[in-house]
Amino acid sequence: MTPPVKAAVFGTGSWGTAFATVLADAGCDVTLWARRPELAEAVNSTRTNPDYLPGVELPGNIRATTDAAEAADGAEFTVLAVPSQTLRANLAEWTPLLAPGTVLVSLMKGVELGSAMRMSEVIEDVTKVGDDRIAIVTGPNLAREIAARMPAAAVVACRDESVAQRLQTACHTPYFRPYTNTDVIGCELGGAVKNVIGLAVGIADGMGLGDNAKGSLITRGLAETTRLGLAMGADPLTFSGLAGLGDLVATCSSPLSRNHTFGTNLGKGMTLQETIAVTKQTAEGVKSCESVLDLARRHGVDMPITETVVGIVHEGKPPVVALKELMSRSAKPERR
Ligand SMILES: NC(=O)c1ccc[n+]([C@@H]2O[C@H](COP(=O)([O-])OP(=O)(O)OC[C@H]3O[C@@H](n4cnc5c(N)ncnc54)[C@H](O)[C@@H]3O)[C@@H](O)[C@H]2O)c1
Ligand SMILES: O=P(O)(O)OC[C@H](O)CO
């Protein structure tokens, strides 16, 4: 009998823990790295993650540790599930510990501030591992639903399709259906920009603007994501798939989305500081809206919804003023 695939998951937050559950349910032997000893201890002794996924029973083949070397040892897949803006510093510590030949897997949906790098680019930059050994997982995957074993499809993307297929097998369960893709740029952009559009839709919901506004923002949000993707060499078809439309719909319609909820609070009139204070987990779009706009400018792409979100979140623009500006932009054909 072949031994189980060994996977390490760095990050014991909502998605790290939920994806560890997927891997374990698919038969992998999973080691979960946690920052805090009390959380690692709680995972091992109660088989739950009381801080991030209370009430969800974790499989027996997940073991938590705060020892990064122990987690990384022998892992065929090294999964990274930390906030996008801390990844570079985290990886600098973990790189010497990585198992030889391991495939690095990003679960993150953000763009680095300053460098405007996608997460796979940060991973390549820090570890010097080739892009044929860097994969991403993305799609409509709200952690709490996945942890409850509710059905979802996902995308596993890697430039090397055979690596994507290995990862697909390692995380395929009766409730989690991963599809492979080799368009890493498109898949990563879909995941990062949908958080920004999720903020915009949340703001509109909080302002009570209705479902036509929501449908319009989702569609025009996808249009500006696709424009950026095209300028960066992505396959435009990726954006009508799970990493694009699929994730946008889930994020923009679910109260479980942190980005959507963050936007809703702003739209209802909370200040940025008040909204941050009530947000306990990572809402990537809050920081990545600036790096996505940076990317758009570097590529000469117009992204009015992203620009509007940056205006509201980082420049103190009142949502009603931002709405008026967005609606009074010059008239144009839909496909431009
Ligand atoms: N939660 C979801 O439904 C979901 C689904 C798909 C993708 N994602 C993406 O996965 C990534 C992680 O999200 P999450 O939901 O697990 O976030 P989370 O806020 O639930 O957990 C973040 C984890 O990172 C750790 N962390 C925070 N600061 C750190 C630091 N400086 N160094 C090391 N670790 C640190 C926290 O302790 C926690 O374990 C994000 O990019 C998010 O967009 C989340
Ligand atoms: O909670 P959010 O807004 O980070 O969204 C979670 C996932 O990315 C949805 O696919």
Ligand 2 atom 1, closest CA? 257
Shared-domain flag, residues 217 and 253:
yes
Ligand index nearest the alpha carbon of residue 140: 2
> Does 82 contact ligand 1 (Cβ within 6 A)?
yes
Alpha helix locations (H) across the chain? 14-25, 37-46, 68-72, 87-94, 119-127, 143-147, 161-170, 184-207, 211-231, 247-253, 258-267, 272-278, 285-298, 304-314, 319-327
- 33 is an annotated ligand-binding site residue: no
- Ligand 2 centroid distance, CA of 220 (Å): 19
Report the CATH number at residue 276.
Answer: 1.10.1040.10
Mean per-residue pLDDT pooled into runs of 10, the chain (336 residues): 93 98 98 98 98 96 98 98 98 98 98 98 98 98 98 98 98 98 98 98 98 98 98 98 98 97 97 94 96 98 98 96 96 87
Domain annotation covers residue 332: no
Report the CATH number at residue 51.
Answer: 3.40.50.720
Whether the complex's predicted ipTM surpasses the cut of 0.95 = yes
Instruction: Name 9's bridge partners.
Output: 32, 79
Shared-domain flag, residues 49 and 120:
yes
> Does 6 contact ligand 2 (Cβ within 6 A)?
no
Contact 121, 104 (CB under 8 A): no
184-207 and 319-327 are packed helices; what angle lies between their axes, rounded to 10 degrees? 120
Ligand 2 atom 5, closest CA? 257
Q: Which atom of ligand 1 is nearest to the CA of 108?
A: 41
Q: Note down the domain range covering 49.
A: 6-182
Shared-domain flag, residues 195 and 238:
yes
Long-range pairs for 204-208 at CB < 8 Å and ≥24 separation?
Answer: 204/263, 204/267, 204/323, 205/260, 205/263, 205/264, 205/267, 206/263, 206/264, 206/265, 206/266, 206/267, 206/268, 206/269, 206/319, 207/267, 207/268, 207/319, 207/320, 207/323
- Ligand 2 centroid distance, CA of 141 (Å): 7
Shared-domain flag, residues 236 and 133:
no
Catalytic positions, written as ranges: 194
- Ligand 2 centroid distance, CA of 67 (Å): 28
Res 336: pLDDT: 65
Shared-domain flag, residues 156 and 16:
yes
Instruction: Return left, alpha or beta for 123; rule: phi > 0 is left, psi -120 to 50 is alpha, else beta.
Output: alpha
Last residue of a domain, one of 182, 213, 230: 182
Contact 251, 70 (CB under 8 A): no
> Does 257 contact ligand 2 (Cβ within 6 A)?
yes
Ligand index nearest the alpha carbon of residue 287: 1
- Ligand 2 centroid distance, CA of 333 (Å): 31
Shared-domain flag, residues 28 and 170:
yes
Shared-domain flag, residues 146 and 275:
no
Last residue of a domain, one of 163, 182, 201: 182
Closest CA to 252 of 277, 220, 282, 229: 220
> Does 127 contact ligand 2 (Cβ within 6 A)?
no
Res 61: pLDDT: 96
- 257 is an annotated ligand-binding site residue: yes
Domain annotation covers residue 336: no
> Does 287 contact ligand 2 (Cβ within 6 A)?
no
- 247 is an annotated ligand-binding site residue: yes
Q: On the CB side of 51, how many CA atoms lie within 13 Å of its CA?
A: 18
Shared-domain flag, residues 97 and 200:
no
Query: CB count, 10 Å around CB of 138?
Result: 29
> Does 259 contact ligand 2 (Cβ within 6 A)?
yes
Shared-domain flag, residues 63 and 110:
yes
Shared-domain flag, residues 201 and 127:
no
Last residue of a domain, one of 182, 207, 237: 182
What residues contact 253, with CB distance under 8 A and at least 6 apart?
Answer: 260
Res 1: pLDDT: 77
Shared-domain flag, residues 177 and 97:
yes
